[in-house]
Amino acid sequence: MFQKLSEVEQKYNELNQLLSQPDIIANREKFQKYSRSHAELAEVVREYKQYKKVAESIAQTKAMLHEENKDHDLKELIEQELAELNDEQQALEERLKVLLLPKDPLDEKNILLEIRAGTGGDEAALFAADLFRMYCKYAEGQRWRTEIMSSNETGVGGFKEIILLIEGNQVYSRLKYESGVHRVQRVPVTESSGRIHTSAVTVAVLPEAEEVEVEIDPNEIRIDVYRSQGPGGQSVNTTDSAVRITHIPTGLVVTCQDEKSQHKNKAKALRILRARLLDKLQQEQDQKMSETRKAQVGSGDRSQRIRTYNFTQGRVTDHRIGLTLHKLDLILEGQMEELLEALTAHYQSEALKHVA
């Protein structure tokens, strides 16, 4: 590990020199490329420098401990300081192991967040709206940009389906473990007898695909246009602005009707289709992975029940890591940091078990 850290530090120093050269500064493409690499290595180098500083302090403290003529109280103070330094060194070593884990190439990407009502009828659709609001609140706190790409509302204020584009720094990295079945247990507004119902909503987190990553052959898609429909089937627009795109080789179908412009709906539908095609490719690759690799990245199975939101007890339980937080109101207001950080720590810990 320390040989690797030394190599990283050397690379970082080389990039420092390159970024100060006039010919590199004048070349925008090279400068951006080197700047990205420099930023990626900065945290590792900072932690490694701190580790070396602590190691040096440990050596000096040990030398002081072995000096003669130390009174008892002073020796105790030195031993206490040494114990604290050893704890800090151990924590830094664990941190460095995590920082050296292979980076997920998708971590920097924006995402398309797909939320769909599952079992539970209107109550599932209402909870889909609650989750949509929760993710929007969290995104707002992270200063990310959000845009509704497609939605299918119900007449009671819920969503059968809603697709949200989230753009910003490290979006996929933070939300990639949200894919799966989210279960809600509560008394529906429409329930007069006060019985608790269990409903389910599925969430899919798709990294946004660039055109160069997924090229769509115009000959392999069928585009249909029709009039937008609102809740209950009433016509929203008087023109054929809604768009349905069918990808013939895979059978994937995307519909968009939120915009009044057919052109805008088509552009949004193509972005969604591109993301789904990239996701399909990833899912196929995941199936070919060894079980070890799957353990490192976490399950991508969207049929897996990952979380339960229990309103009567005010708790949220993530079943993958056995974490229960009695902070349901705060989490639904977008305060998801504790939950997301626990998931990240869990999967990093799983990945470390498989590092040679």
Is 169 a member of any domain? yes
C-beta pairs of 348-352 under 8 Å, 24+ apart in sequence? 348/98, 348/101, 350/295, 350/296, 350/298, 351/101, 351/295, 351/296, 351/297, 352/97, 352/98, 352/101
Query: Which structure tokens are listed for 66?
Result: 């072995």
Residues 123, 255, single domain; the answer is yes
Residues 180, 307, single domain; the answer is yes
When pLDDT is cut at 50, 70 and 90, the band that residue 330 belongs to is very high
Contact predicate 243/256, CB 8 Å: yes
Is 190 a member of any domain? yes
For residues 316-335, give the mean pLDDT: 96
Res 24: pLDDT: 87
Res 300: pLDDT: 45
Q: What tens digit of pLDDT does each residue of 168-217 get?
A: 988 999 999 999 999 999 988 766 667 888 999 999 999 988 766 788 88
Res 298: pLDDT: 46
Q: Is the pLDDT reported for residue 37 higher than 70?
A: yes
Res 108: pLDDT: 85
Residues 187, 287, single domain; the answer is yes
For residues 251-261, give the mean pLDDT: 87
Residues 314, 293, single domain; the answer is yes
Residues 80, 158, single domain; the answer is no
Res 297: pLDDT: 43
| Residue 102 vs residue 57, higher pLDDT | 57
Q: What is the pTM of this model?
A: 0.69
φ, ψ for residue 193, nearest 5 deg: -85, -5
For the chain, what is the mean pLDDT? 84
**Residue where a domain stops, chosen among 99, 129, 162:** 99
When pLDDT is cut at 50, 70 and 90, the band that residue 356 belongs to is very low
Contact predicate 153/239, CB 8 Å: no
Residues 293, 194, single domain; the answer is yes
| Residue 235 vs residue 90, higher pLDDT | 90
User: DSSP letter at 26?
Assistant: H
User: What percent of the chain stands above pLDDT 70?
Assistant: 87
Query: Which structure tokens are listed for 261?
Result: 């412009």
Question: What is the domain extent for residue 40?
Answer: 2-99
φ, ψ for residue 92, nearest 5 deg: -65, -40
Residues 202, 299, single domain; the answer is yes
Res 180: pLDDT: 92
The domain that holds 214 is classified in CATH as 3.30.70.1660
> What type of residue is 307?
R
Candidate ranges 128-132, 188-192, 274-278; pick with highest mean pLDDT: 128-132
String of DSSP letters for 143-174: T-EEEEEEEEE-TTS-EEEEEEEEESTTHHHH
Is 298 a member of any domain? yes
| Number of domains comprising the chain | 2
